[in-house]
Structure 1
Amino acid sequence: MTEKDAIDQPGTLLVGTGENARQIGFRSRPGAEPTLVWLGGYRSDMRGTKAEHLAATAADAGLGFCRLDYSGHGISGGRFEDGTISRWTEEAAAVIAHAVSGRMILVASSMGAWIALRLVQRAAEFALSGRIAGLLLLAPAPDFTHRLMKPQMSEEHFRALRTDGFFTEPSEYGPEPNIYTRALFDDGDANLVMEDLIETHCPVTIIQGMSDPDVPYQHALELVSHLPFHGVVTTLVRDGDHRLSRPQDLALIRRAVLDLADSIAKEG
């Protein structure tokens, strides 16, 4: 099945109340467990190459599938500048509660891996205990504001955060600059996951490019040191970049997620 044949149904969900209310766009299709749940990265949307490929993979295997746009992304409402890890995690949890039943594999790219790990840590709060059966993390960037950005920031960046509440940088992935807000950094500090052991209670597979200019592969290896000793598989792609969207990368992602799904199905 090709990406264009993997049809999932669009929907919207109102998350939050009052001034914090925002319409979150998502797409889902029913199928066998475990459902594949796509969590995209910073400023990405749910119609990207990897998300479409995952939709086709789920359809081929008869698995359920769900993806969403965080607020300020894609078709979802809300201002991008209001976005934080807490806010986007709560939106992902709300869509999962609304559209997904049974066990799931969180397939998360870049910043999405941070959100996936926060969903794991807050599983009881979001009624997800025992339902997150696997994690596939692609170029994972948990704690990126604290561990990847702050050490590289200039005094000018810090001054802009203090005085303007944000700073911008050119993006290699589109014409619009990336915007980083003081709220994102402050909230990021309150959501750090790479401080202690992260009890995932499920197998974890990581795929990381060694030529990634945005997330050094050493960051993925550091993440592994915070994961349980068992059930963690890490694949380093020597010439892989941050996108991991080449045909060979997509094939690797497909094999990894189907291996996870097969092992979960065999557990019953």
Structure 2
Amino acid sequence: MSEAAAGTQPTFLSVGTGDGQRQIAVCQRAAGKGSKDISFVWLSGYRSDMSGAKALELDALAERLGLGCIRFDYSGHGQSGGKFTDGTISRWLEEALDVIEHAKPTRIVLVGSSMGGWIALRAIQELRKRKEAPAIAGLLLIAPAPDFTVDLIEPNLSDVERRSLAERGYFEEPSDYSPEPNIFTRALIEDGRANRVLTGIIETGCPVHILQGMQDADVPFAHSLKLVEHLPADDVVLTLVRDGDHRLSRPQDLERMLAAAETLATHNIA
């Protein structure tokens, strides 16, 4: 792992207007000469940030290959401003798109972890609508959780959680990764319905590699199988890791991630 990446001080990008304005922390590594200006774009998971092992390993890979790498923290996460409980898929998607537009890469490989996989898929849909946008060279999804609020949370809500959503606007549940509980707001869940992607054919226009642990207690591997069914037009590789959990952060998991990321990036370099 690159010590330089771990110690990089972010710059801050202002996103939104009025009361919705927030400062987003961004770390950008410029692409080197001869790289065809390809950059990785790291999209973190729920309550994760750009300083995790996978994000830093991806940045270090970019450094070794002379590629660019764009990392940032969603509002309410890491070093960015804003309240976590104000967060929705639409809000975090807006930040991802603004960061990409500000960085101005020519070609990108999106790398989305868990919820970041959902935001990556939505980002591609939005970028494909724009006349001026970077070309999508590849998509790497790690334990992707598209539509998780609709498919994985709402059907499993207890009566107590439903009552908490109705009365307090949120509910809490214990986290396996933090002493602080996970908080899911009514706004997040309602907004999730408006951002569903598993409703028809998803056209990314690029090669896709999915890494999924079969021991994932948060996003069952059946969810990745469902996602593959919605990608019939793309070149898709699905790697199921028999003993892998949701985080996929063990050394052997990181090696798989880096190998897939390198393949997606370098197959575009003549």
Fold similarity call, TM over 0.5: yes
Q: What are the Cα deviations for residues 35-87 of structure 1, in whole angstroms up to 9, with x where unaligned?
A: 00100000001100100111101101110000000000001001000000000
Matched, 1:164 2:163: no
Displacement of 1:5 after TM fit? 3.9
Matched, 1:74 2:78: yes
Please name the residue that 2:29 is paired with: 29
- TM-score by length of structure 2 reads 0.95
Q: What is the total number of aligned residue pairs between the two structures?
A: 265
Displacement of 1:229 after TM fit? 4.0
Displacement of 1:262 after TM fit? 1.5
User: Sequence identity of aligned pairs in percent?
Assistant: 56
* Contact map agreement 2:38 2:107 (CA 8 A) in 1: yes
CA distance in 2, matches of 1:92, 1:127: 18
Matched, 1:85 2:84: no
Please name the residue that 2:265 is paired with: 261
- TM-score by length of structure 1 reads 0.95
Q: What are the Cα deviations for residues 209-266 of structure 1, in whole angstroms up to 9, with x where unaligned?
A: 0011100000000000001344101000000111110000001111101111121223
Displacement of 1:126 after TM fit? 5.4
Q: Unpaired segments of 5 or more residues in structure 1? A: none
Name whichever of 227-236 and 70-79 sits farther off. 227-236
1:94–1:241 Cα change, 3 Å = same
Displacement of 1:154 after TM fit? 0.8
Please name the residue that 2:2 is paired with: 3
Matches within 5 A, 1:54-203: 54-125=58-129, 129=133, 131-203=135-207
Q: Unpaired segments of 5 or more residues in structure 2? A: none
CA distance in 1, matches of 2:132, 2:218: 31
CA distance in 2, matches of 1:128, 1:257: 25
Letter in 2 for 1:177: P
Three-state SS of the structure 2 residue aligned to 1:212 is coil
User: How large is the RMSD of aligned CA atoms in angstroms?
Assistant: 1.4
CA distance in 2, matches of 1:241, 1:9: 31
Please name the residue that 1:20 is paired with: 20
Letter in 2 for 1:27: C
Q: What are the Cα deviations for residues 184-212 of structure 1, in whole angstroms up to 9, with x where unaligned?
A: 00000000000100011111100000011
